[in-house]
Amino acid sequence: MPKHALRRVMTATAAAVGTLALGLTDATAHAAPATLDYVALGDSYSAGSGVLPVDLTNLLCLRSTANYPHVIAAATGAHLKDVTCGAAQTSDFTESQYPGVAPQLDALDAGTDLVTLTIGGNDNNTFINAITACGTAGVLSGGKGSPCEDKHGTSFDDEIETNTYPALKAALSAVRAEAPGARVAALGYPWITPATADPSCFAKLPVAAGDVPYLRAIQAHLNDAVRRAAEETGATYVDFSAVSDGHDACADRGTRWIEPLLFGTSLVPVHPNALGERRMAEHTMSVLGLS
């Protein structure tokens, strides 16, 4: 081959190689970020208990595949390990909740990038005891007065401060120890009751008028305990106090995020419905800056 022809071939080859190299460099520079290794921990508010469809891999935990962790994972492309479980307490982070159900912290490791959770509402049976006690008292009083507060006073608040708050700190510290590089988001609980009594709600949430703000104050105290524990352990607190206002169990269907005790549409009352789980996901992503 003549030298000038060979030079043309070499020049063309070099140009092609250069173009390919530039293309690879450009592709590398614009490559998608690494997939988030996401672990979801927590109780029934995280599990989406009562929301269809049910995760058939573990029926004991009554976990939904439409819970907020699944919504977040779908929106972000994260690789999700969901070990949320209905009725979970902080102790179930380090102990087996049911036979065959591993402690939730077993799902974490040094490669975990993101952790979300709601936890604390079942410690001391705060939610179930408060709702049951105030619902029963409300029925017996015909919705008048504040019989639940009159009987129980500060007992629920005392348990939150004495038992739940330190347990939350210990649980979040344990999360940090197992996943030291992860971003941890501790979610508050969306409002269950309105700020003041709604007479039209009594049939759905039979709590006496004076006990509606009493229950709301107990929930506010619990959420504040979650907030303080999160801040003191380096986690991000996701506050729902503003965005969930007006979406409580007394709101109309299609507006409410939480289903009422009676005449609701969920299999599990006083828990988030599908809309609530989606809104919890959206607000969490907003707070964390996830797209």
Catalytically annotated residues:
44, 271
> Cα(8)–Cα(14) distance, rounded to whole angstroms?
10
Q: Judge contact between 190 and 272, C-beta under 8 A.
A: yes
280 contacts 191 by C-beta, under 8 angstroms: no
Sheet (strand 236-238) strand order: 79-82, 37-40, 114-117, 183-187, 236-238
Q: What are phi and psi of 27, to 5 degrees?
A: -65, -40
First to last CA, the chain: 58
